[in-house]
Amino acid sequence: MSDGVAGRRGRTALWAFVAVGGLLLYLRAVGVDAVGTVLGRVGPGEAVALAVLGAVPIVLWGVALYLVLHRLDVAATLPTAVALFAASGFLNNVTPFGQAGGDPVSGALVARVGQTAFERGFAAVVSVSAANTVAVVGLGVVGSGALFGTAAGVRTPVVVGVTVVSTAAVGVVAGLAWRRRERLVVRVGRGLGDRLARIGGAIPRVDPPDPDAVVERGRGFVAALERVTGSRRLLAAVFLLGGGGHLAVAATLWLALAAFDATLPPAAVVVVVPAARVAGLSPTPGGTASAEALLTGLIVAVGGVDVPVAAAAALLYRAAAFWLPTLGGGAAAVALVVASDGQDSRR
């Protein structure tokens, strides 16, 4: 095992330990007994409904990945694409910094299973992730607009304002990056290639890629993205599936609150969901601890829900929309790797 791999695993284990410790501190601050009492009110039927609803987004986003893979001429059945997206969610959730850390690994898994180039698999994952981000932010903007016209909006100007400003900022940065993609590919590719050459030169028996080869791979990645964006029908379908998945996520949070007889306007729920995604940028796997704390604060701020009820709803929602899909995605990742190993051995 190389020192680099051991170091990455060590950092991941450290952040996982920090996440568990942070979650325990969060529960202690809220009140373990109070939260436990509230969670005891959840019935078996409600728990099953939440688990089923939590799986709906994975299926919808898996269909979106299937459409993108088909556009890129990557051989994958619909069940395989759904399994790949579930595995991608697992990798994002167990890797520090969320999608930024997990998407490259997910792209490698897609390339391995689909027997295609890494940059094409990576482009497929990034395309669906980007569409999902646009969809959830768009829902947040719609919800923010609805809240501004109600009494609830008066209580939450900060949450609504942050959502709108963040949306505008992300849109501007993404637009500028896309317009200057050729320059970015050359600069980032050469910078990355030079860094890999320095690192590889210090490791025996490692032949680092040439910077020009890294740039060419970057151009292949951009070409794959251009092919996806070249189909308006595909983009519309992927955005609709992304929005449908996030509506299912919002419905999961709404149902988790309803399990404790707490109500939140639908517009408020679709504001809370994208705002809570900020926790995914934390270094803890899946934003654990920070996500639960942020969700609790947003539910209290937006809906005026009691803190123990908000905390219990946040935990129940995270269990249905995060932990269960993550466990399923882990099983899917193992199955896909084993299946791809079997294909390699038969060739």
Position 241 scores a pLDDT of 95
As for how many domains the chain has, the answer is 1
Hunting for tokens 């059945």 — which residue is that? 77
Q: Which letter, b or e, does each residue of 29-42 get, where b requires 16 or more Cβ atoms within 10 Å of its Cβ?
A: ebeeebbeebbeeb
Distance CA 75, CA 285 (A): 31
Position 87 scores a pLDDT of 94
Q: What is the pLDDT of residues 187-221, one digit of tens each?
A: 776 776 666 566 555 555 555 566 667 677 777 77
- Residue 76 domain flag: yes
Hunting for tokens 């269960």 — which residue is that? 324
Q: What is the pLDDT of residues 85-107, one digit of tens each?
A: 999 988 887 766 556 567 788 88
Is 292 exposed, middle or buried (CB count within 10 Å of its CB: 0-12, 13-18, 19+)? Answer: buried
Average pLDDT, the chain: 78
Residue 28 carries which DSSP code?
H
- Residue 232 domain flag: no
- Residue 280 domain flag: yes
Position 184 scores a pLDDT of 78
Residue 337 lies in domain: 3-178+239-346
Give 154's pLDDT tier (boundaries 50, 70, 90). Answer: very low
- Residue 201 domain flag: no
Min mean pLDDT across 17-26, 127-136, 257-266, 292-301 is at: 17-26
Q: What is the mean pLDDT of residues 64-75?
A: 93
What CA–CA distances, in Å, run from 191 to 119, 181, 220, 284? 17, 15, 17, 28
Hunting for tokens 């809220």 — which residue is that? 30
- Residue 224 domain flag: no
Q: Is residue 337 pLDDT above 70, yes or no? A: yes
| pLDDT above 90: percentage of residues in the chain | 23
- Residue 186 domain flag: no
Closest CA to 118 of 132, 129, 102, 105: 105
- Residue 197 domain flag: no
- Residue 37 domain flag: yes
Q: Which two tokens stand for residue 334?
A: 């193992």
Min mean pLDDT across 20-34, 47-61, 186-200 is at: 186-200
Position 4 scores a pLDDT of 47
CA neighbours within 13 Å on the CB side: how many for 216? 6
